[in-house]
Amino acid sequence: MVLGAAADKFGYTLEIDEQLIGGAAIDAGKAPLPAGTLASVIETGAVLLGAVGGPKWDSLPREDRPEVGALLPLRKQLNLYANIRPCKPHPMLIDHTPLKPEYLDGVDFIVMRELTGGIYFGAKGTDGLGAYDECRYCEAEVERIARKAFILAEQRRGKVTSVDKSNVLATSQLWRKTVNKVAEGFPDVGVEHVLIDAMTMHMLTRAQDFDVILTENMFGDILTDEASVLCGSMGVIPSASLSDGTPGLYEPIHGSAPDIAGRNTANPVAMILSAALMVRLSLGEGLMADSIEAAVEAAMTGGHVTADIGGPLGTSDVGRWIADYVLQT
């Protein structure tokens, strides 16, 4: 709806190829990542992804579940090693957080999460002693995500905060050493190192200090969900998963919500903002993305939102309001 309105406004023809993935594909008797879906994704290069999993499929073997059977191989196939998640609380949502307003004033950071390495992709299994999950990184994997983080920081406020557990983990020691090496090529960007356990506290008590937060896969998964507390709702936070060049996958940071399925109450803002990121980063249409983001800003400022963030509208009503605003401005 919103993408269609933006395309009309700027005179583009929008071609959408919808494909099944995850739980929806499983329910249709297919693999979590059907071959046709993967082929379409590779050809298209710009993917807007809905939530793939939920409790319904938790009883399946691990490799057949939506997250493991669809998300992880999709990220690996497209080499989507850089996950970007912004955190900038909207003024209308400050009262929706459990934090005092002074902890939120001026918060504006981006988490750069490595997405195709680490414990999620390491060797896994069970033996006579129990179960194991291997966490492994090579220098090249750390170097490429660190370089993206420093380039992004150059375009923002010039600071990278690298999060690791180097006092214990060998992978984190490699991570810190490599980040410092990359930092030498960016003399105008400051760099600090924070241990993951300390960062879980600092993110809520001095969030204003951060600009670009760089971290590995599992730590980034945890920290970005924690960051949603600062924003007042997971329903307003988009994300982009990028490779080199223009291919990209865009999705809200939240998962599925089967408890409210079909009720027209889910918050669509994170998905709409993810679409704006797709338009900006993969399609290269900055003005079109600006138009969508401005419409979302107007909707939130005016209270034209869903009940989870204090509004009176349903999912489709919010989408329609934003689409109309795009066309009218």
Per-residue pLDDT of the chain (329 residues; tens, 9 = 90+): 999 999 999 999 888 899 999 999 999 999 999 999 999 988 887 999 998 888 889 899 988 999 889 988 998 889 999 999 999 999 888 888 889 999 999 999 999 999 999 999 999 999 999 999 999 999 999 999 999 999 999 999 999 999 999 999 999 999 999 999 999 999 999 999 999 999 999 999 999 999 999 999 999 999 998 998 898 888 899 999 999 877 799 999 887 888 888 899 999 999 999 999 999 999 999 999 999 999 999 999 999 999 989 999 999 999 999 999 999 99
Q: How far apart are CA 36 and CA 51, in angstroms?
A: 19
At 33, phi and psi to the nearest 5?
-125, 85
| Catalytic residue check, 221 | yes
- C-alpha separations of 92 from 28, 95, 298, 321 in Å: 41, 7, 11, 18
C-alpha distances out from residue 173 to 89, 139, 166, 168, Å? 33, 11, 5, 8
Place of tokens 């691990």: 62
Structure tokens of 329?
């401005």
Count of domains observed in the chain: 1
Amino acid at 180: N
Annotated catalytic residue within 8, 64, 225, 317 = 225
| Residue 137 pLDDT | 98
- Following CA atoms 180, 188, 241, 77 in sequence, which dihedral angle do they give, to the nearest 10 degrees? -50
**3-class DSSP assignment, residue 207:** helix
Separation between Cα atoms, residue 247 and residue 78, nearest integer Å: 8
Looking at residue 63, its pLDDT comes to 87
Tell me if residue 317 is catalytic.
Answer: no
- Give a yes or no: residue 76 inside a domain: no
User: Does any domain span residue 252?
Assistant: no
Choosing from 81, 103, 120, 325, the catalytic residue is 120
pLDDT of residue 247: 75
CATH code for the domain in which residue 129 is found: 3.40.718.10
Residue 36 falls within a domain, yes or no?
Answer: no
Is residue 269 in a domain? no
Give the per-residue pLDDT at 45. Answer: 78
Give which of 155, 162, 174, 185 is closest to 111, Cα–Cα: 162
Catalytic residue of the set 159, 165, 209, 317: 165
Q: Which amino acid does the sequence have at 323?
A: A
Distance (Å, whole) CA 327 – CA 329: 6
As a whole number of angstroms, the distance between CA 307 and CA 5 comes to 24
* Active site (annotated) includes residue 165: yes
197 counts as catalytic? yes
Is residue 132 in a domain? Answer: yes
Its domain, for residue 216, covers 98-231
The catalytically annotated residue of 17, 95, 197, 244 is 197
> pLDDT value at position 243?
92
Per the DSSP assignment, residues forming a β-bridge with 46 are 248
Q: At what angle do helices 196-205 and 217-231 cross, to 10 degrees?
A: 10
CA distance linking residue 78 with residue 21, whole number of Å: 15
272 domain residue, yes or no: no
Query: Does residue 122 fall inside a structural domain?
Result: yes
Q: Is residue 211 part of a domain?
A: yes
User: How far, rounded to the nearest angstrom, does the alpha carbon of residue 238 sit from its chain's CA centroid?
Assistant: 6
